[in-house]
């Protein structure tokens, strides 16, 4: 099977500001907790989520509701990357590609950091979002093993962004509409800063 055929079989993104996008309620409804051991339907959703993530060149993370499934599952990867570090100096903690089931987090202090975010569920928008700088997290692997740890900087931001999707929240909820930029405006701004 060619790559094009395969990607056309993957579920579409649910996009909140795209009038043609269906099933938008899934982005605004708390997702269902996953029960272990995973049933076949849940495993199938995980395969879709993983394949969708792999089909993107430039994707830090995805949550199941973004492709239409109301399940508490996210996939993400925050890797060491000099290009990204140029504009995200707080990319210090890293995480290899991981699937987390029923994840949650707690801030470790009141310190916050403001930085740009975008999302596959919000077409052509970029905005500056305040997030907790340091968090603790817990989640489960697909095999049911508990994961616990702490995360700082961009990794903490990515976890907060993805877990928000499981609670029916989007990053644009934290940004006044007038402060959101289009991709083009954002790229111009970044070019001007360089
Ligand atoms: Zn998102």
Domain with 146 in it: what CATH number?
3.90.45.10
Q: How many domains, the chain?
A: 1
- Identify the band that residue 193 occupies on the pLDDT scale cut at 50, 70 and 90: confident
Distance of CA 112 from the midpoint of ligand 1 (Å): 19
Mean pLDDT of 4-14: 76
Q: What is the pLDDT of residues 15-46, one digit of tens each?
A: 999 999 999 999 999 999 999 999 999 999 99
Question: Which of 61, 79, 67, 2 lies closest to 31 in space, CA to CA?
Answer: 67
For residue 13, pLDDT over 90 is answered with yes
138 is catalytic: no
**Given 40, 80, 162, 185, the catalytic residue:** 162
For residues 142 and 34, the answer to whether their CB atoms sit within 8 Å is no
The domain of 88 spans 3-193
Task: Name the pLDDT band for 100 (thresholds 50, 70, 90).
Answer: very high
């Amino acid at each position: 099977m060619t790559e094009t055929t395969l990607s056309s079989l993957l579920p579409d993104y649910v996009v909140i500001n795209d009038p043609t996008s269906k099933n938008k309620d899934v982005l605004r409804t708390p997702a269902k907790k996953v029960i272990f051991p995973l049933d076949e339907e849940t495993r199938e959703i995980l395969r879709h989520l993983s394949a969708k993530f792999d089909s993107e060149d430039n994707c830090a993370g995805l949550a199941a509701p973004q492709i239409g499934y109301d399940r508490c599952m996210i996939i993400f990867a925050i890797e060491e990357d000099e290009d990204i570090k140029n504009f995200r100096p707080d990319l210090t903690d890293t995480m290899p590609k991981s699937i987390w089931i029923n994840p949650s987090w707690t801030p470790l202090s009141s310190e916050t950091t403001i930085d740009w975010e975008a999302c596959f569920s919000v077409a052509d928008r970029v905005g500056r979002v305040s997030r907790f700088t340091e968090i603790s997290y817990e989640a489960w692997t697909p095999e049911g093993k508990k994961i616990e740890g702490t995360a700082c900087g961009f990794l903490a931001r990515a976890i907060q962004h993805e877990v928000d999707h499981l609670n029916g929240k989007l990053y644009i909820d934290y940004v006044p509409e007038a402060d959101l930029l289009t991709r083009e405006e954002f790229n111009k701004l970044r070019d001007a800063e360089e």
